[in-house]
Structures are given as structure tokens and as C-alpha cells.
Chain A
């Protein structure tokens, strides 16, 4: 509207800047009209639009002002037919409100203007002194013609907007539902992950317990052998011969010296007892040896159980520990098993700083790696060799590598060896390496596998930060 106002002033200045009397002139009244009347017609609706935006009154005032501006512009341009197109442009402009009532207001103003002027001053609008009293209807009819088109367009536009709004609302509703489902699924996923972590932790503990039991079983086997040996030795005692000697002595108790001196059986008795004593001493020695072995094995069992209990105090306790001791304890838990399966264990322990970590988790990982290496070596023939190497890499991280020359790993299995449930053992569960990898991650480290292929052994490397 401000642009229209300025355009009106420009038109007045261009078309009729001055009015003349001979060679003297003054500002044309059209210029003042364009400035003052045009200013009022534009200023008031602009003020309303700023102070009362969106109100129905503002829209209708703008409609009235717009068509009156058309009238002013028509007048300023000398009633040019071409300027009348401003009316139709204004109606199209007002149609942007998408409110048929605004168009109705503009139409009433136009029709009313023509009606009043038709009645009282026809030459000002129709250019004739006497016009038909219905000619205003003809002019208003053309405005109505455009109104009908605009009404249809507005109706169609509103329908489309309504449909778009409905679609958007539906879409936003779907978004909300999807977001709700995402939140729900995420919570479920978090819960499942926590459960999985707990399961893995328990599986890791079970793995350690299995190793302990396996080794205790091995030692108990030796205990059983010792007990059996001792029993068989006891059976070798000639308690019947001793009983016969005792009964003979009891029968001749009345004159025992004469029996020993004169009776041929009595004379042989001392030699017999001497031989019997020698005979009893041999199994006694064997039994004593077995008892010693038995005691040693029982001590071993006690040691294994004590170690397991030490590492099973629970996770989450961070301690400063010696890496060498930790590795040695891990090997010791499996010693009986290694001995039984004739596995030679080499140690390459470099000097590394003390490790500040969760002892149980590292122990769990190492016991599992040693147990896996032993299984890999079970099927190997020849030298069954395992190396446990401790070092510090270039990044300053601790590396504990368990290297075996066992069955090795096929390339297609390397990528999934840490997956939950994956195992190549007949009686395996696929928990050990999975839980080991998770535990390593929890400790800020990694667990990686390498193998040049089947039959070429494997290397599992646990990397841990030294400053945890």
C-alpha cells in the first residue's frame, strides 16, 4: 500500500505537476491529493496491519482502502480505462486473504460508489450527463464476475490447504508415534544389552569355574590313583602270617623258652619274624610315598580353589597388580590340565609397569585364552607348545599374547570368532571369546585374533591401557 501511495504521487507529479494561468503556475491539486488523500488511504490500513494484525476489521479496512486507492489512481490518471484494471488487480490482491467476505466488502464499496454517482453525478463515473439508472449494475457485474472466479479459487485453495494440513498433522502424528517406538525400542535394547553384558560376565565366570573344576578334576584323578595304590599296598600286608605266629606263641606260652630252644618251629620263629618285618616295610614305604603325593595333590586343589576364590571376589574392583604374577596365576590354574595334555608353556615376560585394572576381568580373559590354546593343541601331534608373551607396544599399551602352534583358525572364521554363540568346540557355548572381547572393551582395551590359517597356530592378543 505504501508502494501504491508512492506510485500515485509519482503519477501525479508526472501527469499533472502544475496548474497554469498563462506563464504563472502553482502545484496541481492532484499532487496534493496524491500526497494527502493517498497518504490517508494507505497510512490508516498500514497502521492497522501493524497494530492489529490478523483481525477481521483490519482486513476489511484494507479492502475498502484498496478500492478507494483504485478510485484515486483512476482520477489521477484522468479516468483512463487502463487504470481501471487496478480494481481487478486489487481484487486478486485481496483474494490472498482467502476470505470471501473481504472481497464482498470491496465489491460493495465499488458497487456503492457507482450506484451513488449514477444517481447523483453520472458524468463523473460514466462520462455522460444522463446515464441509465441500472448502468452501475453493469459495472458492478464485472466486479462480481471476477469475484465468482476468485471465490471458486479461494474455496479450492482452502480445500487444498485443509488437505495439506490434514496430511501434515497425520505425518506429524506418525512421527510422534515413530519417535515413541524408537524410545521404547531403545530402552528395550539398552535393557537387553545390559542383560547380555551380565550374561557374558556370568559366562566368563563360568568359564573360569570350568577351568578350575577341570584342573581340580585332573588333580583328583591323581588323588584317586594314590588312594588306590595305598589300598593295594595295604592289601599286601601279611596279617595272616602274623596271626599264626601269635597263636603259636600263645599255645606255648607255658614254657616259651623251651619252645624257642628245642621245638623245631620255635627255632625257626626268629628268622620268620625278621623276614616278615622286612616284607611289611616295603608296602609301608610305598603307602607313605602315596600319602605324601596325596597330601601334595590335596594342597594343589586347595591352592586352585583359593586362587579361584581370590579372583572371584567380584568385578569392578580396580587394583594395581603385577602383570607377571597375573599371567603366572592364570597359567597355574591350568597347570594340571597342561601337564595331562603334555602342553609345554613358554613364558616371555618383558618388564612392564604395574597394571591398574580389574584383576578378575583380566584373569577371566587370560584363563579363557589359555584354555582355548590348550584345546587347539589337543588335536596337534608332535610338540605341543604354547607361548605367553608380555610386552609394551609403541603406543605404550600393554600387550599379552597367547600363542599356540595348534589347529589354527580358518580365514572365514576370523571375522566372527568374537560373535556371541560362535564356537568350533564340540562342547563349546561360544561365550568365552565374546565375553572376553566385551570385558577387554570395558577395560578400555581390545582383544584380537590372528592366524595364518588352519594348522598354522593362532595368536590372541589382549591389549590394555597401562594407566587405567
Chain B
């Protein structure tokens, strides 16, 4: 069980620049946080908890959007779980459904909880998870790094392991595994 808790998912290699093909909206002149979640991943509740803290600590310093994956063959209700509602309840967070995981594909996201931070210029400054283990809330290097970056402080951490369920089936998993450095 301990091993399971600390086994990270695939972080992947997200694009260094904000992808032009993305349907995700980016507010001009503001850093943008993009998070991908599996709507039924139990571990991701802790991730949302950490996001809530980030929103509270760095209010107005960045735009935040959460994408809930909706695999092929599943309807929208499948995606709108209590985790969805928890996300919509966080002030300032834009919540979207990622139909068939297309957006996740653009950002190379394979694991629920993957959090990407792009600066105002659209440059990737952080990618990874914001929990320390699967489903475990509490202080963690990912959240600390994002907070530091948003507060214009330097951070030597630019990536962290991501803990959560796989966002999509084997195809995307394989693609993203292959993408890993």
C-alpha cells in the first residue's frame, strides 16, 4: 500500500510554449495554470484541495482552469462527478470538460492531477503534481514551487511527480510514456 501511495504516474513532456491549437483560453498578461483531472480519480481530491490553497494564497496572480477528461463512449454526466462540483466550487477556477481527452493530448497530459504553469508570455515554468503521494494532502514541493513562481520568487523546482489515475487508455499512455525523457 505504501508503495502504491508513492508510485507516481506519467508526467509526460508538456509543450514548452502554450500550444496554438489549444482551445484553452489564456488571459493576456497573466500566468496560466492548467490542471487535468480524471473525474473519478479518488487521489485527485487531494490535488483539488491543494489547488484551493493555491487560489487562496495567490489570489489574482494567475488564471486557473481545470479540465475533466471525458473518454470516448462516455457522456457528459459521467464527467460531472462530485469532484467536478468540488472544482466548480473553488472561486476563480474555470472548469471544463475535455471531450475525448483532446486537450490532454495537446498538453501531453497522461495522469490525473498533472498541473502546468505557463507564465504571462506562454512559457512553461512548471509541470507535475501538487501532492506528495496518491491522495495525500499536505505540504508538497509542487505547490511550494508554483507559489514561489507566482510570487516572483525563484524556484529551483520546475517539475514534480504526479500522483493520480491514468487519464486515458493504453494508447495515450503509450504515447506519453514514449514522450518521457
Contact = CB atoms under 8 A, between A and B. Distances in A.
A124 B139 CA distance: 11
A24 to B, nearest CB: 7
- Number of chain A interface residues as a range: 20 to 34
A75 B166 contact: no
Interface in B133-159: 133, 135-141
Contacts of A351: none
A20 B165 contact: yes
Classify the secondary structure of B's interface with A. loop
B73 A20 contact: no
A222 interface: no
A78 B165 contact: no
B139 A16 contact: no
Nearest to B41: A20
Given A127-B139, A128-B139, A23 B6 contact: no
Contacts of B170: 21
Given A23-B71, A23-B74, A37-B1, A78 B169 contact: no
Given A15-B45, A25-B40, A79 B1 contact: no
Interface string A2-32: 0000000000000111111111110011100
B2 A22 contact: no
Contacts of B2: 124
A341 interface: no
Interface in B85-121: 101, 112
Contact of B168 (A19, A22, A79, A129): A22
A30 B2 CA distance: 10
B42 A19 contact: yes
A216 to B, nearest CB: 117
A22 B166 contact: yes
Contact of A20 (B40, B72, B173): B40
Contacts of A17: 42
A124 B4 contact: no
Given A29-B1, A29-B4, A127-B132, A21 B166 contact: yes
Chain A CB within 10 A, most for which of B2, B41, B139: B41
B139 A28 contact: no
Contacts of A24: 169
Contacts of B165: 19-21
B6 A124 contact: yes
B136 A23 contact: no
A21 B45 CA distance: 16
A456 B168 CA distance: 123
Interface string A120-161: 000110011100000000000000000000000000000000
A22 B169 contact: yes
Interface in B46-76: 46, 69, 71-74
B141 A22 contact: no
A78 B45 contact: yes
B167 interface: yes
B146 to A, nearest CB: 16
B136 A78 contact: yes
B43 interface: yes
B140 A127 contact: yes
Contacts of B26: none
A123 B141 CA distance: 10
A75 B132 CA distance: 13
- Interface hub of A78, A80, A123 (most chain B Cβ within 10 A): A78
A108 B172 CA distance: 48
A33 interface: yes
B127 interface: no
A37 B4 CA distance: 15
Contacts of A18: 40, 42
A16 B43 contact: yes
B42 A28 contact: yes
A25 B141 CA distance: 29
A22 B112 CA distance: 10
A37 B141 CA distance: 30
B137 A79 contact: yes
Nearest to A78: B135
In the complex, the 7 A-B pairs of residues with the closest C-beta atoms, listed nearest first: A16-B42, A127-B138, A20-B165, A21-B166, A23-B71, A22-B169, A79-B136
Given A23-B71, A78-B43, A79-B138, 7 more contacts: A22-B101, A22-B168, A23-B72, A75-B5, A78-B45, A79-B46, A123-B132
15 contacts: A19-B41, A20-B41, A20-B112, A21-B169, A22-B69, A23-B72, A23-B74, A29-B1, A78-B135, A78-B137, A79-B138, A80-B137, A127-B132, A127-B136, A128-B139
